[in-house]
Structure 1
Amino acid sequence: MTDARIYLSPPDVSDVERKLLLAAFDSNWVAPVGPDLDAFEAQVAELTGVRHAVALSSGTAALHLALITAGVRRGDTVLVPSFTFAASANAVMYLGARPVFLDSTADTWNIDPDLVAEELRLRAGRGQLPRAVIAVDMYGQCADYEPLLEACDRYGVALIEDAAEALGATYRGRAAGSFGLAGVLSFNGNKIATTGGGGMLLTDDGTVATRARYLATQAREPVPHYEHRAVGHNYRLSNLLAAVGRGQVQRLGDLIAARRRTFRHYRTALGDLPGLTFMPVADYGEPNHWLTCLLVDAAAFGADRDRIIEHLGRQHIEARPAWKPMHLQPVFRDCVVRGGAVSAGLFRRGLCLPSGSALTDQDRERVVAAVRAVAR
C-alpha cells in the first residue's frame, strides 16, 4: 500500500469548526455579514491586542486596503522586502505605485532595518520619501519592529505589517499584526489558522478601520438607496467562513504547539547532518513556526536543495523551496532593489519541510528518514 501523501501545510479542522459552521448555516446568515463575522473580528482583536479588526476576503485584500488608508496613490513608492510572497508587492502595484525592494538579514530572514533607515534617509534628502514601508513576518517570525518603527516615525512614513504568516507570534511580548498603522493577517487554507480563504486588517486607528469597512463593502453610502462616492471593493468575509475562523482561533494555542513540536523534532532529528542549518529564531520574540525552514549547503550535505525536494516527492512528501525574491521575479524586473544577495541565497538554498499541525509522529519520521536517505 502506498503511503499517504504528506502535504506541506494542509488545513487542520476539527469538530469545533464543524459545529460552528453548521450553526451559522442553520441560522441562515449566509452572507458577508452576521453574528459570526462580528464575533470573529472581536475574537481576533482581543487576541492581538488591537482596537479594531476588519474581516476580509483575503490577506491580499487587507493589504490593499491598508495601503489605501495609508494614502498610497499612483506614482508613489513603497519599500517592500524582496524576500516575500508576491502578494506583498502585488498590492502596491494595484494602486499604480512602485515597490522598492530591500534585502533581508541572514539572522532573521526578515527585512533589514538598517537598509530601511538608510533608504529613508537617502530618499528624504532627495525629497522622494516613500508613502509607506511594508514589513513581512517571514514564516511566522516577526520582523524587528523597534528600529523599523523608529525609522518610519522619524520620517513620517506609514508602516504596514504584513503578518499573513504570523498569527500567534510575538515581538517583545506584543502580538504579531499589532504594529504600525495597520497589520494584515491571512486565513488562506495553508495558514496556521484558516477560514478556507480570508484575511483581516488590524489597527488601533478608528479612522483606518472605518475607511477599510467602507471600501470593503463597495463604498456604499449609509442611505436607503445605493449611493457611491468612491470606488469600492467586494472584500468582506462570509459569515460562514468567519464561523470556521472562530473555531480555528479557539484552537490556536494547540495549533501553534503542534507546529513548535514539529520544528523541534526536525531540529533534533536532522541537526547532526552536515550542511543543514535551520532558520534562526530571533531572540526578540516567539515565532509561531508556521513552516520549518532550513538552508542546504550542497557541498557539505552531499546534495542540493532541489535534489532533496525531488527525493521527498518520490516518497509522496511535499517540500518546497523558500520564496523566490521579488527582485528576481520577471514581473518586477524593472523595479529598484537595494542589496539582494541575502535574499537570493535564501532562495537558492532554502527548503521548507512539511509542518502542518496535524502531522503525526509517523509522518515526521517519514520526512526525517527521507531527508537522511538523501544524505546517505
Structure 2
Amino acid sequence: MSGHEQSYIAEAFRANWLTTAGANLDGFEREMSARLAGRHTLAVSSGTAALHLVLRYLGVGPGDRVAVSTLTFAGSVFPILYLGAEPVFVDSERQSWNLDPDVLESYLRDAARRDELPKALVLVHLYGQHADVDRIRALCDEFEVALVEDAAESLGATYKGRETGCTADFAILSFNGNKIITTTGGGMIVARSADAIRAMRKWAHQSREPAVEYVHEELGYNYRMSNVLAGIGRGQLTVLDERVAARRAVAARYRDALADIPGVALQPEAEWGTHSRWLSVLLFDPEERPVDPATLVLALEVDDIETRPVWRPMHTQPLFRHARRVGGEVAESLFASGLCLPSSSSLSAAAQDRVIDALRRALTGSLAAAR
C-alpha cells in the first residue's frame, strides 16, 4: 500500500457508502480517465469480467471466432468461452514476446479466403510491454476485426508515447492483488464510446431497468466494484509512476547483476515503447544455458524465493487441446526457457541480492550438471 489509501477508505466509512456506489467509484473512474487520454472508464470486479463485457458488447456469441495471443494467462481466454465462441491462438514474436503481426496477417488473409474471419482480436500486452499495436490495428481495420487491448499487465507502460490501452476502441485493465497497482481485486473497461460504457455499466449492475420495481429486460451480471475497493485504487493510482520506476529499477539491477553469465538475458524492451517491468523475466539460451525453468523454481523454493515459469501457452493447455492455433513455436520456446523473478515495487536491495545470489548458485549448479 502507498499510505494514501486510508484517507479514501476512511471517507467511504464516514459517508457510509461502502458497497457499489459512492464518491470513490466516481473518482477512481474519473482519475483513470484523466490518466488514459480522457477515455471513458467503468470499474468492475475483475479484468476477466471487463473482457467478458467488452466481447459481449462487440456481439461475440456462439459460432464466432476470437483470435487471442497464445502466450497469456487464461483470463484472456475464458470470456471467449463464456460467450460460446471459439478461441484461435496466435503465436508470439521475439522482439516483445507479444502477438506476431506477420503471423496475424497470414492468418487473417487465409481466414478471409475461407470466410472464417474472427469477430475480434484480444491483444495481450505481456508482462508490462506493448505489442506492436499500430501494425496490428491496421490489420484489424483492413479485415474489419474488432481489436481489444488486454492491458491487464501493462498499466504504466507506453507505446510510441501513448499510455496503455489508448490505441484500440476498447481496452481492459486488472487491479488484482499481484498487479502494479491493486484494489485487491478488480478491473476496468477503457473505451472511446460513452454509449458503450453506459450499456456495459447496465449489464454489470444486473441489467436493472430504471423502474421503481426490479425490472430486467436483458441478461445481467454482478460485476460491480465496491466503493471501498475503489478507494484503495485511488490511493494506488497516485503512486503509479513511482511503482513503474521502482519496477524498472528492479529489472535493471537483475540485468546488471547477471550480465556476466553467458546465455542469460532479461526480456527485451521493444523500440516502440516503455516497458513497465510489471514482472522481471529472464530468458535462458538453450545452447549456452540449458536449464529447465521448473527445476529452477524448485531450487529457489529451498531458499524461500518464489519464482514462476513464463505463462504456459494457451494452445498447450489441456482445456484447449482441440482449439485452433496459428504457429506457436515461439511461444513454446519462451515458455521452455523463461523464468519470472520476484519483482515487487517494494523489493529491497537486500532481498534482491538474496534472489541474485540464489539464482547464480542454481545456474552454476545446473550448468555443471548439464556438462
Q: Same fold (TM over 0.5)?
A: yes
- Partner Cα distance (1:152, 1:103) in 2: 16
Give yes or no for contact 1:297–1:304 (8 Å, CA) kept in 2.
Answer: no
Greater displacement, 305-314 / 347-356 = 305-314
Code of the residue aligned with 1:294 in structure 2: it is L
Equivalent position of 1:268 in the other structure: 256
Are positions 1:82 and 2:70 aligned together?
A: yes
Code of the residue aligned with 2:228 in structure 1: it is L
Equivalent position of 2:187 in the other structure: 199
Q: 1:314 aligns with which of 302, 319, 332?
A: 302
Greater displacement, 55-64 / 293-302 = 293-302
Code of the residue aligned with 2:64 in structure 1: it is D
Equivalent position of 1:122 in the other structure: 110
Q: 2:154 aligns with which of 153, 163, 166?
A: 166
Equivalent position of 1:280 in the other structure: 268
Q: Deviations over 1:217-246 (max 9, x none)?
A: 011111222111110000111000000000
Closer/same/farther in 2, CA of residues 298 and 126 from structure 1, 3 Å limit: closer
Equivalent position of 1:304 in the other structure: 292
User: Residues 33-112 of structure 1 correspond to what in structure 2 (within 5 A)?
Assistant: 33-112=21-100
Query: What's the CA shift for 1:308?
Result: 2.1
Runs of 4+ in 1 over 6 A off after TM superposition: none
Query: What's the CA shift for 1:115?
Result: 1.6
Give yes or no for contact 1:281–1:287 (8 Å, CA) kept in 2.
Answer: yes
- Partner Cα distance (1:375, 1:90) in 2: 36
Query: What's the CA shift for 1:138?
Result: 0.1
Are positions 1:258 and 2:252 aligned together?
A: no
Could you say which structure has the greater relative contact order, defined with CA pairs below 8 angstroms and 6 or more residues apart? 1
TM-score with structure 1 length normalisation? 0.95
Equivalent position of 1:144 in the other structure: 132
The residue matched to 1:104 in structure 2 has which SS? Answer: coil
Are positions 1:232 and 2:184 aligned together?
A: no
Code of the residue aligned with 1:335 in structure 2: it is A
Equivalent position of 1:25 in the other structure: 13
Code of the residue aligned with 2:54 in structure 1: it is A
Closer/same/farther in 2, CA of residues 303 and 335 from structure 1, 3 Å limit: closer
Are positions 1:361 and 2:352 aligned together?
A: no
Q: 2:235 aligns with which of 247, 256, 274?
A: 247
The residue matched to 1:79 in structure 2 has which SS? Answer: strand
Give yes or no for contact 1:50–1:178 (8 Å, CA) kept in 2.
Answer: no
The residue matched to 1:228 in structure 2 has which SS? Answer: coil
Equivalent position of 1:293 in the other structure: 281
Query: What's the CA shift for 1:147?
Result: 0.9
- Partner Cα distance (2:270, 2:2) in 1: 32
Equivalent position of 1:188 in the other structure: 176
Equivalent position of 2:336 in the other structure: 348
Are positions 1:113 and 2:101 aligned together?
A: yes
- Partner Cα distance (1:50, 1:333) in 2: 41
The alignment covers a number of residue pairs equal to 364
Code of the residue aligned with 1:246 in structure 2: it is R
- Partner Cα distance (2:113, 2:174) in 1: 36
Closer/same/farther in 2, CA of residues 302 and 162 from structure 1, 3 Å limit: closer
Give yes or no for contact 2:205–2:224 (8 Å, CA) kept in 1.
Answer: yes
Q: 2:142 aligns with which of 141, 149, 154?
A: 154
The residue matched to 1:300 in structure 2 has which SS? Answer: coil
Give yes or no for contact 1:60–1:91 (8 Å, CA) kept in 2.
Answer: yes
Code of the residue aligned with 1:45 in structure 2: it is S
CA RMSD after TM alignment:
1.1
Query: What's the CA shift for 1:298?
Result: 5.2
Q: Deviations over 1:177-234 (max 9, x none)?
A: 1222210000000000000000000001122111110110011111222111110000
Identical counterparts, % of pairs: 45
Equivalent position of 1:323 in the other structure: 311
Code of the residue aligned with 2:264 in structure 1: it is L
Which ranges in structure 1 are unaligned for 5 or more consecutive residues?
A: 1-12
Give yes or no for contact 1:140–1:288 (8 Å, CA) kept in 2.
Answer: yes
Which ranges in structure 2 are unaligned for 5 or more consecutive residues?
A: 365-371
Code of the residue aligned with 2:340 in structure 1: it is C
Give yes or no for contact 1:303–1:374 (8 Å, CA) kept in 2.
Answer: no
The residue matched to 1:260 in structure 2 has which SS? Answer: helix
Give yes or no for contact 1:117–1:151 (8 Å, CA) kept in 2.
Answer: yes
Equivalent position of 1:4 in the other structure: none
Equivalent position of 1:7 in the other structure: none
Greater displacement, 356-365 / 121-130 = 121-130
